[in-house]
Amino acid sequence: MRHGKKDNHLGRTSSHRSAMLSNMASSLILHKRISTTLAKAKELRKFVEPLITKSKADNTHSRRTVFSYLQNKESVKVLFDEISEKITNRPGGYTRIIKMENRLGDNAQMCIIELVDYNEALLKEVAAPAKAKTRRSKKSADSKPAADAATSTDETAGE
């Protein structure tokens, strides 16, 4: 029975799984976006988001704790120096999973997992407000205000 076993073992031993998640988390932190299978991305999200939350408190203990998971000095430095500054006001949800087409070889569901605050394409859309679109209609623009003015004078004349 699987009572209380919520982690996907991904067909690997415990040591292989922890090493793989550590390497994937380091790659995600350094490159801000990686492509992987959907199952691995969902497990990686559960692995890396607590580490990013831990990086908000920049002290020696949290650095050592994060290093014990990642085993990569460079990714710990990037996490605490760059990423923690961008996510200070965000209460969680630091990663985004975008589904892609299935892989050709084995038809596995592929996806991109990325850090939310580092997607330049989406940040540009949010920063630049969209133009107000105008719609062309068969009625002329002058006839509508004139009709509104006529109804407003009729209402005031009746009072």
Each residue of 58-107: pLDDT tens digit? Answer: 999 999 999 999 999 999 999 999 999 999 999 999 999 999 999 999 99
CB 99 within 8 A of CB 37: no
In 81-115, which positions are buried (b, 16+ CB within 10 angstroms) versus exposed (e)?
eebbeebeeeeeebbbeeeeeeeeeeeeebbebbb
**pLDDT score of 2 more than 90:** no
Compute the Cα dihedral for 46, 48, 51, 56 and give only its sign.
negative
Site of tokens 């991109």: 112
Tokens 């690997």 identify what position? 12
Q: Could you tell me the pLDDT band of residue 141, with boundaries at 50, 70 and 90?
A: low
Please give the C-alpha separations between residue 97 and each of 55, 61, 91, 139, 156, in angstroms, as whole numbers: 21, 30, 18, 46, 59
The answer to whether 92 and 56 are in contact (CB under 8 A) is: no
pLDDT of residue 122: 74
User: Do the beta carbons of residue 95 and residue 116 sit within 8 Å?
Assistant: yes
pLDDT of the residue at 136: 76
Flag the least confident range among 31-35, 75-79, 145-149: 145-149
Mean pLDDT in the chain?
87
Region of poorest pLDDT, from 20-34, 59-73, 134-148: 134-148
